[in-house]
Each structure stands twice: as structure tokens, then as C-alpha cells.
Amino acid sequence: MMYDFLVDLTGSPILSGIVMSLLPLFTFILPFALFAVYLERKVSAHMQDRLGPMRTGWHGWKQTIADILKLIQKEDIVAKDNDKLLFNLAPIIVFAGSYAAFAAIPFASIFIGTEIDLGMFYIVAVTGLVVAGILMAGWASNNKYSLLGSMRSVAQIVSYEIPTMLVMLSVVMLSGTMSLHTLSEMQTGNILNWYILGGPGLSLSKFILIPFMFIGFLIIYISTLAEVNRTPFDIPEAESELVSGYHTEYSGMKFAMFFLSEYANMFAVSAIVVALFLGGYQSPIGYFGNLIGAEWLVPFEQFGWFTVKGVFFVFVQMWLRWTLPRLRVDQLMTVSWKYLIPIAFVNLLIIGLISIL
């Protein structure tokens, strides 16, 4: 809808296309990445009884800006035996993969990148680009440790896509649509219409569905944790074992791209979980704008709610990172193939049965 608005305004579809694609980047991803890095450092510091950054700005809020400025100034080291093409291409592909997923995520009822009907399918396909990027990074680094790290990462991401897709399929079965935008629209009203509490409408099947939806929510949360390489699944970038894994050899701006893409990815998967189960951008209590009659306020409120929910789940991801130790590679595979996939599959079958009835 925003696309149409811009086309009416400017009269040129190309220009509005460009603006629409740049809009999530500048209004959301960059500020969010800056904020997320700062949040992580402060959250980890306070969980560990210390203070975190305190000197750059009031309580250190300018720390990430300082870090980015520093990384931009660093020398871009490319070792002699590295495969130059792949080495330079890898961070770009990783960043592009995680950024492209934002095109299909609904930020507000009118603010969405594209109105694609295959929203979920598109997102899962595009985050698979990240796998290719990581493999390239590991191989082109010409370093045994990096290669080990990237191969583990590939195995991990590929095996954890399966429970993700199984849970997504169960929600698709219930709602009948793959577009995240339509899903969020279906969950309007109040909190009882959210999928985690069974879905819109009021019927017996809804109440029976609640425990299975809850299990589905847990499964997708855990598997998307593994997709973004966060502890307890951060073997690919395990600092104390592989000295940073596949991004050991990168310095300067390329490292910054890996770094930013990790945080962008974290938000993207939180956003997917929120859109699937927790109502997307809908508010649980109604809109203030509707109350006072200012209709134009509603999209901004929705944007705010969406951000709050997304940031809350990013916070939970950080919370988990600083509490739990790391899983070993074979245990990671065990969790995925022996625990998550069977449970997700059974869940899918049961939800399918209930939805027919």
C-alpha cells in the first residue's frame, strides 16, 4: 500500500520501488543494529554484575557508532593465498541474504516491502543464501579453523530449517495463507485472536489447539536461534574453540558486515516468530488512534508494537546467550533430528487433524 502511495506521489514506479527498498534499511535495520549491539553489551554487563560501556555518551549509548567508525578505518587485509573473488563476495552475500528477508516482513498495515503472496516461502528461501555466504567465507579464508567452522555452520543451518518449516506449515494449514501480511491482518482485535492462543474466532477447536500452538512456538523459537548461530548453538563462531570460526580472517568493513548481518538476522527471525504467533503488528489492547479518532496514528502505533515485540524476543535471545553453555556439534544435530523434528512433525499432524474437524 505504501508502494501505491508513493507511485501516486511521484508518478514513477521505478523511483518508488527504489525508495521502498531502501526504506526498511535506513529507517529500521541500521538503527536497530546499532541499538541491538548496545543492548547486548548492556544486558550482558548487568547480568554479570558489571557496567558495560559507560564513557562514550551518557552511559555509553554512542559506543556502537564509535565501533563502526573504527571498523571503517581499519586496513582491509586479504591474505596472499585467499581466493580473492570468494573472499570479497562472502560478506556481501551474507548481508544480502539476511537483509532481503526484510522485504516480506510486515512492519505496519501499510508499511510492507512487497505484497508477495508467498511471504514465508520467500523468507525461508532467501535466508538460505546465508549458508552459501558462510561456506564461501570459510573456504576462501584458507584456514583450517575457518573451514571447520563454516562446515559446521552449514550443517547446523540446514538441519534446523526443517523444524522451522514444519511449524510454519502448521500455521499455514490453520490460516490458509502464506503471506505474513495477511496472517497479521487475521489476528486483529485483541490478544485472544493471536495464533499462540489458538487463532482468530471463538470455537472449541481453538481451545484444543492452544497447547500445540505453544509447543510449535517453542520449537520455532529454538530452531530460529540455531539459524542465526546464537548460543547455545554458536559453534561456528565459538570464540574459545575456533577463535571466531568463519569470520576470523576478516577485518574492517567486511567484519562489520558480518556483524551487522547477524543482528539484522536476529531481528528478522524474531519478527517471523512474532508475525506467526503473536499477532504481528497488532496491539493486544486496541489502538489509541482509534480511540481519539486520529486514524493516521494507527500505523505508527502498529509499528511501535511490532518493534516492541521484536525487541523483546531479541532480548530473550540475548538472555539465553549469557546463561547457557554451548552445545557440541553432534549434540546439536541430535537435538534437531531426534527431538525437534519428530515433535514438530507430530505437532503438524495433530494440528492438521484438528483443523479439519
Partner 1 sequence: MSNNSKLNTKNSAIRTEEMVLNMGPQHPSTHGVLRLELVLEGEIVVKVIPHIGYLHRCFEKHCEAMTYPQIVPYTDRMDYLASMGNEFGYAIAMEKMLGIQVPERVEYIRVIMAELQRIASHLVALGTYGADIGAFTPFLFCFRDRETILHLFEITCGARLLYNYIWVGGLSHDIHPDFIRKTKDFIKEFRPNLKEVDNLLSHNRIFIDRTANVGILPIETAINYGVSGPNLRGSGFKWDIRKDDPYSVYHKFDYEIPVGKGTYGTVGDSWDRYYVRILEMEESLKIIEQAIDQIPEGDVTSAIPKRIKPNAGQVYARVENPRGELGYFIISDGSTSPYRVKVRAPSFVSMQVLNELCKGYMVADVVTILGSIDIVLGEIDR
Partner 2 sequence: MKEYLGNIYTALYTIFVGMKITFKHMFVPSVTIQYPEVKLQLPERERNRLYVNMDDCIGCDQCSRACPVSCIDIETTKSLPGEDLGKTSNGKKKALWVTNFTIDFAKCCYCQLCVFPCPTECIYMTDVFEFSEWERDRLVYDFATLTPEERQEKRDNLAKFNAEKEAEKLKAAAAPKPDVKKDEPEVK
Which residues sit at the interface with partner 2, rule CB under 8 A?
Answer: 43, 45-51, 54, 319-320, 322-324, 339
Which of 116, 76, 119 has the alpha carbon at shortest distance from 255? 76
Among partner 1, partner 2, none, what binds residue 326 when CB lies within 5 to 8 Å by partner kind? partner 1
Report the residue from 96, 208, 329, 343 that binds partner 1 according to the rule CB under 8 A.
329
Pick between residue 62 and residue 326 the one whose CB is nearest to partner 1. Answer: 326
Pick between residue 8 and residue 49 the one whose CB is nearest to partner 1. Answer: 49
Among partner 1, partner 2, none, what binds residue 43 when CB lies within 5 to 8 Å by partner kind? partner 2
Determine phi and psi for 83, rounding to 5 degrees.
Answer: -80, 100
Report the residue from 234, 256, 271, 336 that binds partner 1 according to the rule CB under 8 A.
234
The alpha carbons of the chain give a radius of gyration, in whole angstroms, of 21
Among partner 2, partner 1, none, what binds residue 328 when CB lies within 5 to 8 Å by partner kind? partner 1
**Site membership for partner 1, residue 316 (CB under 8 A):** no
Which of 98, 97, 115 has the alpha carbon at shortest distance from 20? 115
Q: How many CB atoms lie within 10 A of CB 136?
A: 23
**Residue pointed to by grid coordinates 563462531:** 237
CB 291, CB 301: distance < 8 Å:
no
Which of 133, 348, 164, 99 has the alpha carbon at shortest distance from 246? 133
**Site membership for partner 1, residue 48 (CB under 8 A):** yes
**Site membership for partner 1, residue 15 (CB under 8 A):** no
CB 112, CB 105: distance < 8 Å:
yes
Which residues are registered as beta bridge partners of 106? 112
Stretches 143-151, 154-162, 307-315, 341-349: which one binds partner 1 (CB under 8 A)?
143-151
Stretches 44-52, 184-192, 215-223, 270-278: which one binds partner 1 (CB under 8 A)?
44-52
CA distances from 191 to 82, 186, 241 (A): 53, 12, 44
Report the residue from 8, 14, 26, 49 that binds partner 1 according to the rule CB under 8 A.
49
In the complex, minimum distance from the CB of residue 316 to partner 2, in angstroms, rounded to a whole number = 9
Stretches 155-163, 167-175, 217-225, 232-240: which one binds partner 1 (CB under 8 A)?
232-240
**Site membership for partner 1, residue 148 (CB under 8 A):** yes
Total binding residues for partner 1 by CB under 8 A?
27
CA distances from 245 to 7, 36, 139, 248, 324 (A): 45, 22, 11, 6, 19
Report the residue from 70, 74, 144, 338 that binds partner 1 according to the rule CB under 8 A.
144
With the C-alpha atoms ordered 290, 291, 297, 301, is the resulting torsion angle positive or negative?
negative
CA distances from 306 to 115, 280, 302, 311 (A): 18, 6, 6, 8
Pick between residue 66 and residue 89 the one whose CB is nearest to partner 2. Answer: 66
Which residues are registered as beta bridge partners of 112? 106
- Whole-angstrom distance, CA of residue 212 vs CA of residue 238: 34
- The answer to whether the bond into 299 is cis (omega within 30° of 0) is no
Among partner 1, partner 2, none, what binds residue 51 when CB lies within 5 to 8 Å by partner kind? partner 2
Pick between residue 22 and residue 316 the one whose CB is nearest to partner 2. Answer: 316
Stretches 85-93, 198-206, 238-246, 250-258: which one binds partner 1 (CB under 8 A)?
238-246
In the complex, minimum distance from the CB of residue 334 to partner 1, in angstroms, rounded to a whole number = 9
Among partner 1, partner 2, none, what binds residue 310 when CB lies within 5 to 8 Å by partner kind? none
Give the SS3 label for residue 294. Answer: coil
Q: Binding residues for partner 1, per CB under 8 A?
A: 44, 47-50, 144-145, 148, 231-232, 234-235, 238-241, 243, 322-331
